[in-house]
């Protein structure tokens, strides 16, 4: 993980306002990194930052917008995690709202844990992560070796 991080931002509908506020509050730190957002979250974050900094050209290479989560953005994010293209995730999910794509959400959380990608699911954890001294330096996470699982004999 390089000193400039690839940070995934995901927020459910009732948490999008929280995500936008968090990004605005932390823009000075976040501006040194690349943001990868699921669709609607990315659109709202980008609009808020254009209002805040007044230059959409500054954001040109800073924000990548995937599909909306329920339309495949969660799977796109999962693939990026597997490919080592995500350094950490801020995922403000709504624990009080049943979601039609709950299976996709669980898959993203599972794959993040499997690949040892730090993930914040609330503002407090996101604040701790972004203020960590590791935020602006190179970091090599330890990836668990799953070769015994892959090489196991199956009795089929």
Tokens standing for residue 1:
């993980």
**How many residues are recorded in the chain?**
156
Tell me which residues are annotated as active site.
74
Question: Which candidate, 127, 128, 120, places its Cα nearest to that of 92?
Answer: 120
Beta bridge partners of 65: 37
As beta bridge partners, residue 90 has: 9, 120
Backbone angles phi, psi at 149, to 5 degrees: -70, -45
């Amino acid at each position: 993980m390089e000193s400039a991080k690839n940070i995934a931002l995901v927020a459910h509908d009732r948490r999008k306002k929280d995500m936008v506020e968090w990004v605005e509050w932390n823009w000075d730190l976040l501006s040194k990194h690349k943001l990868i957002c699921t669709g609607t979250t990315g659109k709202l974050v980008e609009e808020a930052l254009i209002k805040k900094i007044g230059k959409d050209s500054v954001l040109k290479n800073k924000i990548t917008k995937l599909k909306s989560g329920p339309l495949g953005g969660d799977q796109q994010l999962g693939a990026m995690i597997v490919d080592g293209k995500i350094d950490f995730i801020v995922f403000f999910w709504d624990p009080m709202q049943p979601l039609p794509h709950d299976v996709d959400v669980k898959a993203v959380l599972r794959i993040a844990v499997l690949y040892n990608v730090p993930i914040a699911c609330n503002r407090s954890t996101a604040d701790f992560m972004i203020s960590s001294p590791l935020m602006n330096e190179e970091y090599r996470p330890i990836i668990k070796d799953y070769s015994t699982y892959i090489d196991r004999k199956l009795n089929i």
